[in-house]
Structure 1
């Protein structure tokens, strides 16, 4: 990204915000807090302990916990280093409104890798799985 704003940078920001809300830990204007949150969330996710990220004030019944876990999943998809692997804003809206969309495993967040080492773009594009019936309906709206 290197200072370039796009829909994908908006998605990244949304993912960071989502993880901040879920964890109850804001950035407090410190750059190291940003990386710490993403690294911490990623490690907990990979270790199968993502529930430890959740602010205790959000914990309720098992139904709310499954929704919170889905939001953590979405947040991690939004902060992946692979721009093409990040969901679109339209897809995020759909994912948040239904539980039927199948989500892929998130890749490492942007703070883990150097942007110059993205690797095979075609392979990275295939990492995000969409429900095939909805994939054809997604439309990006661009301002004039």
Structure 2
């Protein structure tokens, strides 16, 4: 079970410095409040744990906004030139056309879909996200590494 997707009523599940005070039954009930079909509509899951004081004081310089903005704009320009719309809007045949998979990545995707029990909607969301990851990386083709990153961002089913 991946309770940290929903946290818990006390809000400290997975916190390295403050222990969760909820019982396993309470955490399970809390996590069960969201249904599979609803979770299937969540594209990304990024866990951002609270930083310790040591981590805060050792933090280096973050990447500046301008280079990040430039990367995102370049990826957006590529997708608009390729298909005339954002990857997030691709559905059905348009998605298959603009996000084709070579044999290796297709086998990886099929295996991931089986292992994760992805629905059709979940499969397409992973494929759209992998297309975006490839665009951000400057790759014209979706590779296994892009699919793996997209799968890693998927919310875990309970």
Question: Over alpha carbons, which structure has the higher Rg?
Answer: 2
Query: Which has the higher relative contact order, 1 or 2, with Cα contacts under 8 A spaced 6 or more apart?
Result: 2
Q: Is the shorter-chain TM-score for this pair beyond 0.5, marking a shared fold? A: no
Q: Give the alignment's TM-score, normalised by structure 2.
A: 0.25
Q: Give the alignment's TM-score, normalised by structure 1.
A: 0.27
